[in-house]
Structure 1
Amino acid sequence: MADPLSIGASVLAFIGLADRIIRTCKYCIEAVEDAPKDIQMILGEATSLRAIIDSIGESSATSLVPNLHEKNGPIKSCYSCLASLEALLPPTMGQSQTGKRHKITLADLAWPLKQSKVRKLLAEISHHKATLLLAMSGDMSRDLKEIRMGIERLQGTISESETREIIRWLERTNPSSLHNIAFNKHEPLTTAWVTNSSQWKAWLSLTSETRLIWIHGLPGSGKTVLASYVIEELEMLCKPANGSVCSYYYCHYSHNQDETVPFLSWIIGHVCRQISWIPSELKRLHDHGCEPTTTDLEEILEIVVNKLDVLYIIIDAVDESTPREDLLLLIQTITVDKRFEKIRILATSRQYFDIEQSLTQISTSISMSNPMVDADIRRFVHSRLRSSNRLKRWHARFDEIEEVLAAMAEGMFRWAECQIQAIERLRDQSKLQQLLSNLPKDLSETYIRIFEAIPDEDRPLVRCILTWIIGHSQAAWVYHVGVNANLLLSAVTYEHFGSETKGQKSIIDLEYLKEICSCLITVRCVPGDIFDSWLEESPGLQAREATDGEDLYVSLAHYTVLEFLVSPHVCQPNFAFFAMSPELIRLKFAKSVLKQALAADPKGTSTDWIHDREAYCLTLGCALYLHDILAETDLQDLFMLYIHPSSPHYSRFEAIQSRIVQGDEGSRCYFLRHIPARIHCSTTEYTCSGTAATLMNILLLWSGSMHKELMPMIRRLLAGRQIQELLDTKVTVTFIEESEEELEEAGNGLCEKTLDGAVWEIVQSRQIFLDDEELSHSFHMLGRACVSIQRQISCNRPIMSA
């Protein structure tokens, strides 16, 4: 009779063998076209046997278990059969050196020759498994029902790595940094009127019919700070372990997107993270490989909510979704649909007509124009006056200043803050009374005075600063804390003076930047580790007095600054110089980024795109094709030089790509990883080889939604050449990729993938490596596009695009 130690070793060996077979079968099913049904049967038998042996291992004290482990017993016989099956399956090392799985065929498996032996072994396993189940049903503590449940749990288990990947896939737009920024502005003892109100108490109750609170107010009235306060209060009330969960989302102008799907995706991912559970339906949606639709996500939300007692959702700045019709429709659906009766929503926005029409009838409406907000503004002004070192010289007149500002603010915190900053900049004590007697009536007039006061010699510099701040915020970047201060100073110095000299660096420092931009910008301190893991909840942000350092970040002080810059107000003669349309801002920012990328030192080594100007421009440049700005011919020329492998800066890409692949793929702007690190063309004709390599990079960055923008650039690139000649050019390319092997010689988890072939063959082969669905789903359009271009050339249509 087998002893307990040998039984334990036998169980571990059996489970190890079963696990290897399960992995191999799953690999075959994914990689083999029309995989044989026998492989699915092997997977099922191995999975069920693993669950049975696992149960036996936990019940080894029962009297019958040792007999099952005898030499000729059913367990040894099953092990022998599984070992024989493993020998018939292909090894998992059949994957490529890159760790990426390639399609293999039935011929590779030699399956027809193995089929009869496989089925014989499966029949033998089925016989022995029946013996095991019969023995367990009569003698072991677990009955057949528990075994089946164990098998189902094993088959339905979502691994920890899969859970992380699914949540990462959902959380494309992470609003946590926006929340931290907003709550950092919260003044103690303010906004409590909301949580003390009867509307709030009714909303909290599950028995109440109030499922939606809509808080509306003027620009700058503190809606976002109020939302952050409500979120913090709810997070203290909710206990996910007890079925009550709070989640939130901040719409933001810098997202420049319809927030419907990002909102739903984040909420689902955030809730799943809190309750440590992923529904199998969500995994199937993820595994399908396509971008989820609103309908898909609504169905997942329904499943998730059924696991809870209540879900409280805060969504801020609904008006900043572009467009917002679908988002409003979704809020309506969640509010009135019986499927979501466990959900309570609190939404904030400006009081626009379309939002009012959508939400008034189904919500409890609360206006920010009320005496409680006025009292909060007074508290804010009181605290701000007494906490500023620059205002200490006015301490004798604090009461007077507080009274005037509180009376004229009319519910706008932003207006009050701008006036306080204006007082801080006063150097002549005799000017205070004049300022208080002639305060601007609203935010627009406040901004008019700020721009009028900027000296003529500083205006080009201020415009350049604002262009970079706004351009950064609207780039395909994941961070909402602003652009790093040192990077901004370096970029603006380069753009304004053409290069960075020591003397010019001393001209533009952070204090000077703050002085000339006054209350148009905000400089805040952000802990250095905030970018280490963008998926985790961001640590708190500290808006302390700025000092020179790498942890300082600059952003627009408020959305209303951007609104003013693109409004008709700026067309007035005194400051028309600052008039900028959204298109012009994107154009100027893109041109500046590409020019500075092209001028990057080829011998430079920095890959820190957060703090270093050159690394930033080299990394971000590849994402600029997302905008329609590439319709501009001068930008087309810059972009084609940027992705031309013979350009001196191109050698810098490899180090940056290595960092991206190693784990910094959180940003959707890292399209740089999709083009080769090194390219060698076999043709000796320099012009042809460079053009072919550039065309290949354009096609590797292809997105179907950019069809109209890229077509003129491709035609311009061809310059009369036959496209087929370029597509047939032989190249050798090297890509930097992540290795799935646990141990790498380099120890960094990276490997190189070298491919030889025609340009078109390289482009086609890379489709299976692109894990960004937004790019890979559009690859089928490439063939049609090239045919279209060639047809236009054949018809003697103009190839140069204006």
Structure 2
Amino acid sequence: MDGLSAAASVIAVVQISTQIFELCQEYYSEVKDARKDIQRLRNEVTSLQDVLTNVEDLAEDSGSANLSVLNLLNQQDGPLRQCQKDLVGLVAKLELGQGKNTMKRFGMRALKWPFSSKDVEKLLITIGRHKATFNLALSADHIGLARAIKDDVARLNNSIAELQVGQKEFLVDERRQKIHQWLSPLDPSSNHNAACKKRQPTTGAWFVGSDQYEKWKTTSNSFLWLHGIPGCGKTILCSTIVQDVIRQYQSEPEFAVAYFYFDFNDSEKQRHDNFIRSLIVQLSTQSEKTPESLEALFTGSRQQPTTDALTSTLQQIIGDFQQTFILIDALDECNQREELLELMETIVGWKSEKVHILATSRREREIEEALQPLITDQILEIEETLRDGAHGMFRWVVCQLDSLKKCLKLDALRRALNSLPKTLDDTYARILRSIDEEYSQDAFRILQWLAYSARPLRIEEVAEVVAVKIVEKAIPVTCSGVATRRILRKRL
């Protein structure tokens, strides 16, 4: 192979690099948010051109001393051919980001920088390696050049493989995004975030720590219905459950979580078909690749799919995961309630061991009759029971909650709810009766001090009341800061 052939190869590479520079110039003037990366790539290409110019001079002066170096550079899979191949690929991607030709014919520009900062970094490394190889060739260090070429080819092949994987992932994500846009799903995260803002850190802790909740998560094909009166906090509780399930399973690639909030303030979030679309997109996003069933739905017809087709696709996507959790808030706010309840029956009827459904709603006969056969467990309406019995007495509710917290089993909880005292006096009487006889005298003494204390006692002072045994009827003057002497003398 003579020097002229090598010179021709160098010229071809220089021309391609010039084309890249011009394309970068165009992007630089149009795409403002990527100028830093564009400038870096443009500078590196310019630097490569300078090195290639020196190689071209070496080829034109192809004496015997230089011929072996040029042959190494210009061999079939050598650095010049590899550099040309990489630059041609770069041109293709830059031209791809310019948009469709039809847009250009109508005078519209559609420039979109096709590389992320990570991609640009890889391109700079690749071009830098080519420069290093050519600079080594210019030094005419034949042994060093041969070794460098061998190592460089291996590194370049690895870089190419990485770029190909990255490009493939980019195309897959782009395709998936296109399919998702076609489905036009609603985003339930706005409702979820709004509910989370209203939630206190410990809100719903009583539920996510319950046996029923754990049973629902671990039982195959489980369905749990939480019902309550309007305003008792079902949506807030649902947001707590969503957060807990996501936190527990987000690191498990074979587990998927999808949720939806029906909303009477948003007519689009009252339709059951929009509910299905949202579930499909959420589950698809959590899959490593676009589910085949969703791809088939999209390629089969670009018309909007039927509800049956959406339901079938949902079933197949759920089957792609080891476990799927679906959480639904406010079933009663769906304006296509009959269709939604039929869908619930259909999903449970799949008899899939992989799916777990939790739903909230008001307790309405239509919903209860439809869901009752599906329920694998059911939470009692603690909020409703307490609200009905409180009659405006906040202290009564607090006392009942203190009592209910001691119930470790569902049966005990149900018995406690069915035997709540009617009045606050009855509540206090029950509390006093529950004091162990061994501590009854201590409790009596503490209540005496609390009744006649000039201010609320600190816990340390209450401890002293129990610890100190008073023999005399009179109280020392030193205690006058805690209790009223005259009253205590009289009472004791």
TM-score, normalization by structure 1: 0.30
More helix per residue: 1 or 2? 2
Higher relative contact order (CA 8 A, sep 6+): 2
TM-score, normalization by structure 2: 0.47
Please tell me whether Structure 1 or Structure 2 has the larger radius of gyration of its CA atoms. 2
